[in-house]
Every structure is written in structure tokens, then in C-alpha cells.
Structure 1
Amino acid sequence: MKTCHSEYGQIDRVILKPADSAFKNQMKINNEWKELNYLSPVIFEDSLEEYRNFMDFFQVQGSQILALPPSETSLDSIYCRDTSLATDYGMIFCTMGKKARLPEPKAIQEFCEEKGIPVLGQITSPGTCEGGDMCWLDEKTLAIGHTYRTNLEGIRQIKSLLEPKGIEVLTVELPHYKGPTDVFHLMSIISPLDKDLAMVYSALMPIYFREELLKRGFQLVECPEEEFESMGCNVLALAPRKCLIVKGNPISTKRLREVGCEVIEYEGQEISQKGCGGPTCLTRPLERII
């Protein structure tokens, strides 16, 4: 069965924003990286090679890739998950909580409409939400983080679109952590890898949400503290228990393999580490097969 309401099924269709379309050139990178809070400037030519290798994982398994073209957006547009939520009823386009990213949802909406992808709705100001704060726990349950990027009005609008369709929307209150300038989403602390398996960082997870996951039958694989900042918890399921993780997280990788996951490491110094966006951030899955 194909559905948009999964984080773990085999990816059938996915939207990607290639590095050349997002970064464009070294001059753009040099002009923007500090304001966007990147750790250091991306090396443009190296990012192209990293992204080509990243795309190969989807091509090899036969996923249909819809590549976003260049647009008048920031470097952050490479992290295309944040612009939208894919549902079985159509796309929901976000209003970004990070001001520099405000043009991105319009660009992806125009792209989706051109491709004939159905649209369910648009989150409007003063509501804000970002795709990294939304995580399908199962086909009928969406968890959404209340963060500096996703506010209560944004959550209310998401609920108004999905609850009439029979979708349960769970609000997850997340902590201040490093404050408004940091990239801290719900999916910074949970990555579902199968219907009953998730990589988590419990240290920043509300007790009620962690207990809800256990009640729903999830086995939790803990990301170690020393690998949280290197995105050891940001793991993308290509298919059930087959996942992508950025290189440099050996403990997380070992723990995933111990529970039966096929783990593929990719080189992401330029496309992931410097902008603090892992494989889930780099992808907007549309449909998965479960």
C-alpha cells in the first residue's frame, strides 16, 4: 500500500533540492552562511559531489526523484522537508518559523502544482510551522512539535486541516534548548525506522511523549549524548530498517545494526554537518510503500 502517512516505508516518490540548485555558487554561500548560522562556509564543489552520492541511494532503490529547480531562496532550501507536509489528501505548505526561509514554501507549492500534486492547504501567518516538527507515528497519527519554528497557531491550523479527516494530531512540547536561533525540531529527537522502531534522543524528549511511544509498541534506540550534535538521531528510513545516517556517528550506527537495521553512512560534511541538517532534513518524501 502506498501512503504519505509513513516515516518508515520504502520511499516511492521524494522531492529533493540538489546542492547546485540550493547553493548555486560559492559567492552565494559566502554571502549567506553566517547570517543563516552555518558552522562554517560550505565548499561549493565538494557539496556537489556529496549530493550526487546522496541522490544515488534513492536512484539505486528505484525511488522517483522530483528535483526542485533553482529559486530565489536561501542556502537552507536544500533542507526541503521543512517547507511542507505530505498527506494522503494533498500537500500542506508551511509558513516558516525562520524568517530567512519564508520564500521557500511558495517555491515548492508552485513546483507541486506544476507537477499535478494535490494541495490540501496552506498555513498562514501568524501561524508558523516547519516540516521538521511533524512526524507520522502511524497512518492515523501525526506528532507535531511546539518549538520556536512551529507555534501554537500553526499547530491549530494543522489540526483544523487533518482532524476532520480522522487524523489524531499529538502536540509535543519541546524545551528551549539552545534558543530561537538553533535548529531544533521534533525530528531532531525522533526518527521512525519501522512501524515499531525509532531512533530517539530521550534527554530532550518530554516524558509523556516517550511514554506514548512505548505504549504504542515502539522499541527505542538511544542516540548517545556525544553524537546528538553530529546528528546521530537524524536518521532517514529508505525502507523498513534500511536507513541513511551521516558519517561520524559510530555508536549510533552500531546500535542500529544491533537491532537489525541496514545502515548506510554518507559523507555529509558540506550538505549536512555545516548547515546542521541530516538526511531527513534533505528530503521531502511524498509516498512510501508499507
Structure 2
Amino acid sequence: MRYVENSTGVLKKVMLARPEHVHLQPINVISQKWIDEGNQVDVQACLREHQEFVDAYRENGVEVHLAPTRRDLTNQVFARDFGACIAEGYIMGKFREPIRFGESEVFENELKKLGIPCAVRCTEGVFEGGDFWFLDNKTLAIGNVARTDEAGFESLRRGLEPLGYTLMRVPCEKANLHLDMCFNIAAERVAVVCKDALPGFFLQELRRRKFELINVAQEEVFLHHCNLECLGSGRVMSFHSNAEVNAKMRALGLTVIDVELREILKMGGGPHCMTFPLIREK
């Protein structure tokens, strides 16, 4: 069985977690802003948004596996971050923020139930799944932003190179949180990027690979305008308020599925952060 070999093949199965116990935590600049303004999230609004998200996946032929939630895991809705999935199985990451440590056990138990093997484990430093991207089936871009450090990168490299993968470290300013907040592959050779947030060598690499780049401003990173999920076959999951990016993707011929996400975004993540891919076709 081959699980996930790329960023753009047809997405067949994902794991999500319902936002049943969400609560703003001061662990990123987005949630900190809402806390500073005296706000909290509306759990029922988050649940309504998430159900629309689940329904959109299912309506587009994607099987959704819902992981169990725990009351103490307030950020579990961002199922992407505990690790990553490659052709051989899953990569178990290591969270930086203690409030998220318990998510690893929950998701790992689910993957065992699903019969998906652990291919590589981060044993040193920290690594979170929002920093993981396939550039091709054997080249991986790994963000070095706020939640993945150099020790975590080296731990992944030692585990993945024997499997034939080449890793590229992509450093960005920590305020960007994860690489998927300022870089996202929306479709084959189409990426939404914040050029001001990404290093020059990485932008050059994307151009060398003939990517069409849709640029967003730095302030739009914090509105999640890069945070999308590719479904394959020219389809991409976005959200209504990402109007300008959605229009540019449609102008390139992509089918944009834009769900209603507002309340969940206050937590500091978007569609890509909420989605752990389990099976994606070549």
C-alpha cells in the first residue's frame, strides 16, 4: 500500500478532528491578537463550520475519518500538525507547545487502528506537519519557522534519506508559524505564496520548477490566504473570505470549493492545517 506520494494527486482519504473543545491559546500571533482584544471562540459556530468542511470533502469524493477528541486538547482541530504522511506510512512529529503534546497519542492510536504504519519518527528537536511539503515524489520542503527547528529537520533527514527522499530546509520568520501559512501548493505547478516571507533561494526553486505563483501580502498570511488544501484534478479547498486568491485560482482554471470559515480561523489555522491526508493518488 502506498499512502501519500505528492501534494497534488487526487485526495482519497483524510483524518480530521471536530472542534468540540476549542479555546483560544496564546501560542501564535493570530490567536494572541484575538485574546488581546478580549475575544474567545464560539464553539457552536466552529462546529457548524467544521461540518460544512467535512461535507465539502465528502461531496468531492474524499473519505473522512474523524478522530476522537479530548477535552484538554483545545487545538486538536488542526490535525495536520502531529506529523505527516508519505508513501511508506506516517511520520510522527514532535510538538513544540506543551498544550498540544497529548494530540500525538490520540492520532497515533487512530493510525494504528487504521493499519497505517509509522515510517519515520522525529526523535530530536521539534517537527510539526504544517512545515511539510512534497515538491515532487522524492523532494520534500521542510519549513524552519516557529514549530520546526534544525534538530527536528536533521532527525527527519536521518530517517527519510535512507528511504530515498531529499530534504530542503526553508527558513522563515517565526511570526509565520508554519510553512503552510506562507506557501501552499494549490494544484499541479500552481502555488500561493507570500514572497516577502519566503527565502529567495526557495522562490528561485519554485520558478525553476515552472510554478505559477499567486502572491499575497505579508499581512494576508495572518488571514490564512495561503492556507488551502489541494484535492487534485484541478480542485482546491479554500474559504469564502479568501476572495482575491480564489478569483486568481479560478482564472487559472482551477475549481475552488470555498467553505464558510471564520470562527475556526481565529485559532490560527485554515483548511490545510485542519487536514491530515491519509491516501492521495499518484
TM surpasses 0.5: yes
1:282 to 254, 274, 277: 274
- Give the total of aligned pairs: 274
Sequence identity, in percent? 28
Shifted more, 161-170 versus 231-240: the winner is: 231-240
Shift of 1:217: 1.7
Contact 1:227 1:249 in 2 (8 A): no
Aligned to 2:139, which of 138, 141, 148?
141
Q: Is residue 224–residue 252 contact of structure 1 (8 Å, CA) maintained in 2?
A: no
Contact 1:36/1:100 (CA < 8 Å) preserved in 2? no
What TM-score, normalized by structure 1, do the two folds share? 0.89
Distance across 2 between alignment mates of 1:134 and 1:288: 15
Match in the other structure for 2:182: 189
The correspondence for 2:209, drawn from 212, 216, 241, is 216
1:36 offset after TM fit, Å? Answer: 4.5
Is 1:33 the equivalent of 2:24? yes
- What displacement does 1:269 show? 1.3
1:257-272 correspondence to structure 2 within 5 Å: 257-271=250-264
CA-CA distance at 1:235 after TM superposition: 1.3
CA distance in 1, matches of 2:226, 2:54: 21
Q: Deviations over 1:160-208 (max 9, x none)?
A: 11111111111111124x3xxxx61111111112231111111101000
Q: Give the secondary structure class of the aligned counterpart of 1:45.
A: helix
User: How far off is 1:253 after superposition?
Assistant: 1.4
Per the alignment, residue 81 of structure 1 pairs with: 80
Task: Tell me the amino acid that sits aligned with residue 266 of structure 2.
Answer: K
1:65 is aligned to 64
Structure 2 residue runs without a partner (length 5+): none
3-state SS, counterpart of residue 77 of structure 1: coil
Does the 8 Å CA contact 1:91/1:121 hold for their aligned counterparts? Answer: yes
Give the Cα separation in 2 of the matches to 1:225 and 1:120: 35
Once residues 263 and 257 of structure 1 are traced to their aligned partners in structure 2, the CA distance between those partners, rounded to angstroms, is 7
CA distance in 1, matches of 2:198, 2:233: 23
Counterpart residue type for residue 5 of structure 2: H
In 1, Cα distance between the equivalents of 2:41 and 2:258?
Answer: 20
- Aligned partners of 2:196 and 2:217 also within 8 Å: no
Whether the 8 Å CA contact 2:131–2:142 is kept in 1: the answer is yes
The residue that corresponds to 2:239 in the other structure is 246
Could you say if the C-alpha distance between residues 201 and 241 of structure 1 is closer, same or farther in structure 2, counting changes exceeding 3 Å? farther
TM-score where L is the length of structure 2:
0.91
Alignment-derived partner of residue 205 in structure 1: 198
Mind listing any 5+ residue stretches in structure 1 that lack a counterpart? 24-28
Secondary structure of 2:12's partner? strand
